[in-house]
Chain A
């Protein structure tokens, strides 16, 4: 595993170069964060196509606003903030013009994405894993976003609150509701 402190230090170096107009440095940052940003978007949207589009767009927006990144948060957190804003605005648009349903069962098959069924999930039964993801996808938006930030991005309550633009109390409440709903719908482990 890469040491996160070292990783961050390296980010600073590449960010400074990208801010000075070095496009190869920016591409380096893209390659470095592409998996994390994509996985974040995929958990929020439940769809490969949407995650692909939003993740790319997030990097484009980051590129355009590089001069506004002041290093107050980690570069990865900043990218996630941009991605989260995109997810939010698309969700708003989708509520007004509903077109696509968020059904994880309509995701591209494992064969199409080049992985064996259930393989990256490790020891999870693939059916159970699919059910789990489907249930997380069906959570109300704020609960889902809060859960993803807390559990998968491993952020503190304060970090989640800052990104979501809410109070720590709201973060706790959303986590509680998310977990209670999952508990009710998924029941006990088979």
Chain B
């Protein structure tokens, strides 16, 4: 087992995202690799540190008046909000119908697309597919957001992965390797095998 995979598995294990089998393999590696053991301990310390960092309390005066401020907001809404809302609802009825029709069209298109999807059951556990994707994302999660100016495109991609057949996973994998130039990436480390 490679140390680079171990580093990923350490983080997955911390969030209970590793299968029992991989957990065992991880522990076997940790037993014989001091560098990964240190990494594991530091990651665990960080996790603990984050978990025990509490938000600042705004103080007793703040809490004493909180419920009454909520009450005032409710009353303000009651006075101003309700009639306006009902008028607006009536006025927007036509618009809502148009939207409903548009939404129905979208649902139909999506349903057709789903029917078209190959029905082969995936042979990997979600964990394992995820680990493979993570390996790919090691290369892509810093480029894709910049290229497509989206927040975390992979998060949505992972959802799709749950429905992919092994063949499709392989195709995507090949695509990633072909399409993405990894030469200039700062954190594309060489895999350092444990001796």
Q: Please determine whether A120 and B45 come into contact, CB atoms closer than 8 angstroms.
A: no
> Are A121 and B151 within 8 A (Cβ)?
no
Interface residues in A33-66 (C-beta closer than 8 Å to B): 34-35, 38-39, 42-43, 48, 52, 56-57, 59-60, 63-64
Residues of A within 8 A of B59 (CB): 113-115
Q: Are A60 and B152 in contact (CB under 8 A)?
A: no
* Cross-chain contact B159 with A170 (CB below 8 angstroms): yes
Q: How many residues of B contact A (CB 8 A)?
A: 53
**Contact indicator A175/B70 (Cβ below 8 Å):** no
How large, as a class, is the contact surface on chain A? Answer: 35 or more
| Most interface-central of B74, B145, B154 (chain A CB within 10 A) | B74
Which residues of A61-118 have CB atoms within 8 Å of chain B's CB atoms?
Answer: 63-64, 107, 110, 113-115
A122 at the interface (CB under 8 A from B): yes
Give A169-183 interface residues, CB cut-off 8 Å to B.
169-170, 172-177, 179-180, 182-183
With A30-B70, A180-B11 as contacts: A120 and B57 at CB distance below 8 Å: yes
Does A172 lie within 8 Å of B14, measured CB to CB?
no
20 additional A-B residue pairs with CB within 8 Å, beyond A128-B49, A140-B152, A189-B49: A27-B67, A27-B70, A34-B66, A34-B67, A35-B63, A60-B74, A63-B70, A63-B74, A121-B54, A141-B151, A157-B16, A169-B161, A170-B156, A170-B158, A177-B152, A180-B8, A182-B46, A182-B50, A186-B46, A189-B42
